[in-house]
Amino acid sequence: MRIALAQLNPVVGDVAGNTALVLEAMAQAKRERADVLVTSELVLVGYPPRDLLLREGVVEACEAAVHRIAQAAGDVFVIVGHPRRCAGGTRPLRNSASVCHRGKVIALCDKQLLPGYDVFDEDRYFEPGGRSFVVEMAGRRVGVVICEDLWRAEDVSAERRYAVEPVAELAAQDCQVIVSLNASPFVVGKWQRHLEQMREVATDYHVPLIAVNQMGANDDLVFDGRSIVVDRGGRVTTVLNGFASEVRTVELPADHAHGVHATDTDAGEEVKRWNERPREVFHALTLGVRDYVGKTGHKKLLLGLSGGIDSALAAVIASAAIGPKNVEGVMMPSRYSSKGSIEDSIDLAKRLGLGKCEQIPINIAHEAMHETLRSNLGEACAGGITDENVQARLRGVILMAMSNALPGSLLLSTSNKSEIATGYSTLYGDMCGAIALLGDLTKTRIYELARWINKNHRECGFAKAPIPESSLAKAPSAELRPNQTDQDTLPPYEILDQIVERFIEREQSEQTIIDETGFDGELVRTTVAMIDRAQFKRDQAPVIPKVTPRAFGRGRPMPIVMKGEVSGVRGQVSGRSEERSAISDQPGAIQDGAPSKGQGSRSRVRKLTAER
């Protein structure tokens, strides 16, 4: 039995374009004498369609496309994913896979398990299917499942359980092959867990298993492809290219035979290659940016260059995604910018070969704004958080103006997860942009990825290490006041990032974090309060490509206004302050302006971290 795996990159809502991709895959499958062609979940509308499913005519266009595919199928059994109308349930749609053959739809398989956790909201739109069943194809009994029907949330939670087991239902019907249509978004390490699940299923039921995953990026989600074939002994025999479109035909042996056809190879080396976390993250973010730019019809990227590690890494990934000639960097030094920051930015631009690297000082604009504000605010605008945020917003104005003036360009925000978590970022300043490329990477992960890229620069498409060593070595600083460093205001990143990852990605309580890490209790409580208070900023943040199990954005819908012990703000209402930093001299207190970034805040953080 020859099965073609169609790992395609659909555009959400482009039913005509997505149908054309499937027809092209069908043509290749016929040339390669495939018996069956398998696509990914909802390939005709693209995943995730979200409320586009509610728009008049969208589902009907998908249903018409299924009939067109059936007419073109010929002798190939084409299994295509799409939404369809249904009646009699609590919701008007089903998430389905049609089996098309010789001009007809010979079977319809509906998804039974509809995830409603993290970024998924399928139970909002779809009625669950009734049962799994087997379809006779090319002399084999083939069971068809759709994504969650196979994974059953086992890759994300040991506590989440479903009442039915679709794969077990198929096995009970003497299924000889299981095929799964997937649109499983990338999360670092998830693919490896899926491999283990597939091995267990294949071994438990003694049946070969084929999982075809969507490729490409849509909004905040990246789909890595890496479609998999596992033989009935649990051996991974085929892995399609990661983060790339591909149609590949594999041959399953006769049901009584062992092993795989001689043209297939053991995929062990490919599996080992993807066990390196930074490699996965680099390719995921590169694809995320490339598709966001391309699918929105843009051609160029613009970003501010500070000489620090965040903007350097963002420029590198942008260059890898769309080519350095299509990336423009802008240096905007102030009176507080160091000579080294400018030199490092110029060095980075030369290493990458950026299309442009311009320098636009903000000193004159800063002074003019200071004089304008002083007439009303007096000396309150002369220093502290007000003055620091004015500088950040002046840079935001410059970058947005340049993005408007440059046809086909998008602005990248360079804020990282540590900053976005704690509110150490400025609304309408460094948070400006269409996409926050690094928004799901903590600062320590930023350094890890940057060093990996320098070490593996040829694999990443660069002739030499692209990130200046001085950008890696210097102390992080916003350079908004004299001799400033991030650790004046924030705990050391090696401590902060553990708190962020535990509180955000693992949903641990303050006490659990304290007990498991031994960190100072007051420091942990202050940091957690900072995270909760900054929710109002995150609700206004750019799109953040998801690479961790718990990213800011759609998958973490937290309230802005909240209070109580559980929220971490201990009786105070969240979301009132509009500061760059959320640390205050009173843990959990919300001030009408900005909790201080002055000496009180600095000394307090230093005291708490020193006590540890």
Catalogue the active-site residues: 41, 111, 147
478 CA to centre of own chain: 26
Q: How far apart are alpha carbons 421 and 496 in whole angstroms? A: 10
Residues 6+ positions from 47 with CB-CB distance below 8 Å? 10, 12, 40, 41, 183, 214, 218, 223
Q: How far apart are alpha carbons 394 and 439 in whole angstroms? A: 22
To the nearest 10°, report the CA torsion of 88, 92, 96, 99: 60
Residues 6+ positions from 58 with CB-CB distance below 8 Å? 13, 15, 45, 49, 52, 83
Q: How far apart are alpha carbons 495 and 476 in whole angstroms? A: 15
Closest CA to 420 of 433, 406, 401: 433
Handedness of CA 497, 502, 505, 510 (dihedral sign): negative
Residue 451 belongs to what H/E stretch?
A: helix 443-455
> Are 384 and 597 contacting, i.e. CB atoms less than 8 angstroms apart?
yes
Q: What share of the chain is helix, strand, coil (3-state, %, to 5)?
A: 40, 15, 45
Q: Return the amino acid letter for 120.
A: F
**Largest interatomic CA distance in the chain:** 87
Give the three-state DSSP class for 244: coil
Q: How far apart are alpha carbons 213 and 233 in whole angstroms? A: 22
Residues 6+ positions from 401 with CB-CB distance below 8 Å? none
Residues 6+ positions from 589 with CB-CB distance below 8 Å? 572, 595
3-class SS letters over 39-68: CCCCCCCCCCCHHHHHCCCHHHHHHHHHHH
Closest CA to 594 of 409, 387, 408, 348: 387
Q: What's the distance, Cα to Cα, between the start and end of the chain in Å? A: 63
Q: How far apart are alpha carbons 182 and 214 in whole angstroms? A: 6
Q: How far apart are alpha carbons 168 and 112 in whole angstroms? A: 13
Q: Tell me whether the omega of the peptide bond preceding residue 587 falls within 30 degrees of 0, making it cis.
A: no
Q: How far apart are alpha carbons 64 and 57 in whole angstroms? A: 10
Residues 6+ positions from 76 with CB-CB distance below 8 Å? 4, 26, 29, 30, 34, 35, 36, 37, 101
| Tokens coding 155 | 């890759």
Q: Tell me whether the omega of the peptide bond preceding residue 48 falls within 30 degrees of 0, making it cis.
A: yes
Closest CA to 297 of 48, 14, 58: 14
Q: Return the amino acid letter for 242.
A: G
